[in-house]
Each structure stands twice: as structure tokens, then as C-alpha cells.
């Protein structure tokens, strides 16, 4: 899902976040979507993750 960034891009993003003293850094679009889903609709997000986990364990 999407393209992966390079280690250098990740390091730069981490460095910028540390300089700005950010407590949270989400690097990927999927990560950002997951973060906001868990904040805005925690029940829906939890059901989606449980369903995904069940399918991976089968």
C-alpha cells in the first residue's frame, strides 16, 4: 500500500519532529488514516482491526 520512503527520509522526518519537540510522528498516509480513525471512530476502528487480525491468524 503506497510507496515506502527511504531511511534517509525517515531520519529527516524524525530529526525535524525532534527539533520541534513533537510527541507524535506518523510517517505514512495509512498511519495517519489509522490514527484519525482511532480518534474519531474508535469503535469502528477497533472492529476493523479485530477483523483484520482474525483473517491474518486463520
Domain boundaries of the chain, sorted by first residue: 7-57
User: Quick one: cell of 17?
Assistant: 519532529
Determine phi and psi for 22, rounding to 5 degrees: -75, 140
Q: Alpha helices, DSSP H only, in the chain?
A: 7-19, 29-40, 42-57
| Cα radius of gyration rounded to whole Å, the chain | 15
For 22-57, the pLDDT digits (tens) are 999 999 999 999 999 999 999 999 999 999 999 998
Instruction: Report the C-alpha gap between 41 and 9 in whole angstroms.
Output: 30
> Does residue 10 register a pLDDT over 60?
yes
pTM summary value: 0.71
Amino acid at each position: 500500500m503506497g510507496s515506502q520512503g527511504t531511511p534517509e527520509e525517515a531520519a529527516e522526518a524524525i530529526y525535524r519532529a525532534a527539533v520541534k519537540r513533537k510527541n507524535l510522528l506518523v510517517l505514512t498516509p495509512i498511519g495517519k488514516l489509522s490514527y484519525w480513525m482511532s480518534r474519531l471512530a474508535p469503535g469502528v476502528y477497533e472492529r476493523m482491526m479485530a477483523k483484520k487480525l482474525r483473517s491474518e491468524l486463520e
